[in-house]
Amino acid sequence: MATASKKKTVKKATSSKIKKTGFNPKQFESRLSPSQKVEAWGMNHFSNSKVFLPTSIQDFKDLFSYARDTNTKVAFRGGGCSYGDAATNDQGIVVDIRSFNKILSFDPKTGILVAESGVTIKQLWEFGIERGFWPPVVSGTMFPTLGGALSMNIHGKNNFAVGPIGDHIQEFTFLSPDGKESLCSPKKNSDLFYSAISGFGMLGAFLTVTIKLKKIYSGKMKVWPVNTANLQEMYDYFEKEYKQSDYLVGWVDGFASGKGLGRGQIHKAVHLKAGEDPGFPENCKLENQILPSTFLGIIPKSWMWLFMYPFSNKFGMRFVNFGKWISGFLNNNKPYEQGHAEYAFLLDYVPNWKFMYKPGAMIQYQSFIPKENAVKGFEEILSLCQKRGIVNWLGVFKKHRPDKFLLTHAVDGYSMAMDFPLTKGNKTKLWELAKEMDEIVVKNGGRFYFAKDSTLRPEVYRRSMPKQNLEKFRVMKKKLDPKNLLESDLFRRVWGK
């Protein structure tokens, strides 16, 4: 009898809520998928979660109403490009925003574009290129959404020159879990502007985003490949050339040792100025920019990972890295022209290349170290990996500048992104290596990047960030999300309750 009475009371309360607010939790629940596997991009983690696909602002409002009524945990997922557990949620709903993806307006005079937060970088560049515009900041893949890009405040190969994507956002509309919708810009609701961008999706939902695209005068850029003998030489080149460069990125051979520690190849790129390209605007046509789907016009690129698979071991990757470095001397410092998409989206050039890590997975360890400590810090990390017998298969070196965002990963210095194979046999050893690398990063004043992380521990993250930034985020989180409805697996692992 007591149980029946309790059920009756709950039913009455629910009916009253529907009548009062017009929101029906049961009806909303029917729009959720059954629990399904939601996987990290690096294939190293997954959650069993119900998935919701919003297509309108009202859908986001209904989502938060449901979460408040049922105390359900919510995590946002953009393009699913985070390497680790940033967009998985084993305790609730994963909100896939990719269907909320309309470009709403564009001013061809200013390059200012307004879009829903599920619009991808791919949509942006494909929309802009024939109009003579390019996104101001892009990642190595074109599939992140604007909402995901802002949550992680992504950077590109031009971070040293233009900062992260957040520096190019005019304003955005934002919905917090308490149901309040806000318009945010650097001058209006600025605290929320600088906290939500970099807030890894834990303060609310980006709804519409206003971004200023970059004017371009050619479908191609001028690129210089430059081989470097070691990491110090790579650093020196960056420091010498960054003021005359639009983009700089370095590939690093993690297997090289001794005097060749950190050797690799830099690709410097500059935009062509108005009138310098006789092929403009023809070469800005989409058909001339889209990455080819075949290799040598014959082999589908979706098969290429199969050809890479025999090299998916430490001996094979040592050979690949050495071969790449040697081949760099053939065109060392000889400039050539390359399309924007081809230069920018190297990770998309071979679809599904990550499958070469199967039946295992991969993690990426990316750290940021101030320039005065960068060379010695990264040299110590590279040497440690070799000493522990777990060498990264791919290393990428970039230059950065500091920014104003609350949980920024950037420093006035450099980053190294390192891809490691993950197997059942090496996980314990790899996580122990990550702990040792963490200590090197922290002692050198460095930081970490949530979009790439899989191993970071709460105490290390706290040591890497200014205390006032962490406290300000806690206050903001408590104000906007008092019930802690927004939680991802990353949040629970690194930030805690």
Tokens at 402, concatenated: 């500091």
Question: How much is the average pLDDT of 4-27?
Answer: 54
Report the DSSP pairing between strands 92-96 and 73-77.
parallel
Give the per-residue pLDDT at 497.
57
Do 447 and 377 meet the contact criterion of CB atoms below 8 Å apart?
no
Q: 52-56, 294-298, 336-340: lowest mean pLDDT where?
A: 294-298
Do 202 and 494 meet the contact criterion of CB atoms below 8 Å apart?
no
Q: Please report which confidence band the pLDDT of residue 302 belongs to, taking 50, 70 and 90 as the band edges.
A: confident
Please count the CA atoms within 13 angstroms of the CA of 370 that sit on its side-chain side: 7
Given phi > 0 = left and psi -120 to 50 = alpha, else beta, which region is 132?
A: left
| Average pLDDT score, the chain | 94
Q: pLDDT tens across 401-447, in order?
A: 999 999 999 999 999 999 999 999 999 999 999 999 999 999 999 99
Task: Give me Rg for the CA atoms of the chain.
Answer: 23
Do 41 and 58 meet the contact criterion of CB atoms below 8 Å apart?
no
Burial of 308 (0-12, 13-18, 19+ CB in 10 A): middle
Q: Please report which confidence band the pLDDT of residue 20 belongs to, taking 50, 70 and 90 as the band edges.
A: low
Do 267 and 222 meet the contact criterion of CB atoms below 8 Å apart?
no
As a whole number of angstroms, the distance between CA 287 and CA 281 comes to: 12
Give the per-residue pLDDT at 13.
40
Strand order in the sheet with 92-96: 36-39, 46-52, 92-96, 73-77
Residue with tokens 């230059």: 399
pLDDT higher than threshold 50 for residue 16? no
Question: How much is the average pLDDT of 481-493?
Answer: 97
Question: How much is the average pLDDT of 70-94?
Answer: 97
CA dihedral (116, 122, 125, 126) positive or negative: negative
Q: Which residues of 234-258 are buried (b: 16+ CB within 10 A; e: fewer)?
A: bbebbeebbeebbbbbbbbbbbbee
Give the per-residue pLDDT at 304.
82
Residue with tokens 């697996």: 489
Give the per-residue pLDDT at 18.
52
Q: pLDDT tens across 337-359, in order?
A: 999 999 999 999 888 899 999 99
Tokens at 100, concatenated: 């909320």
Give the per-residue pLDDT at 52.
98
pLDDT higher than threshold 70 for residue 71? yes
What DSSP state is assigned to residue 292? P
Closest residue by Cα to residue 139 from 94, 100, 183, 83: 83
As a whole number of angstroms, the distance between CA 99 and CA 279 comes to: 36
As a whole number of angstroms, the distance between CA 44 and CA 489 comes to: 13
Secondary structure (3-state) at 472? helix
Q: pLDDT tens across 358-399, in order?
A: 999 999 999 999 999 999 999 999 999 999 999 999 999 999
Do 151 and 174 meet the contact criterion of CB atoms below 8 Å apart?
no
Q: For residue 71, which amino acid is it? A: N
Question: How much is the average pLDDT of 190-198?
Answer: 98
Do 495 and 458 meet the contact criterion of CB atoms below 8 Å apart?
yes
Which DSSP string corresponds to 249-260?
A: EEEE-TT--GGG
Q: Please report which confidence band the pLDDT of residue 21 belongs to, taking 50, 70 and 90 as the band edges.
A: low
Q: pLDDT tens across 441-467, in order?
A: 999 999 999 999 999 999 999 999 999
Closest residue by Cα to residue 73 from 90, 58, 57: 90
Residues 6+ apart with CB under 8 A from 403: 153, 163, 164, 166, 167, 410
pLDDT higher than threshold 50 for residue 4? no
What percent of the chain has a predicted confidence (pLDDT) above 90?
A: 89
Q: pLDDT tens across 236-285, in order?
A: 999 999 999 999 999 999 999 999 999 999 999 999 999 999 999 999 99
Give the per-residue pLDDT at 387.
98
What DSSP state is assigned to residue 452? T
Please count the CA atoms within 13 angstroms of the CA of 319 that sit on its side-chain side: 7
Strand order in the sheet with 103-107: 103-107, 112-116, 205-212, 169-175, 181-184
As a whole number of angstroms, the distance between CA 108 and CA 437 comes to: 47
Residue with tokens 């060379």: 375
CA dihedral (126, 132, 133, 134) positive or negative: positive
Q: Which residue has the higher pLDDT, 98 or 302?
A: 98
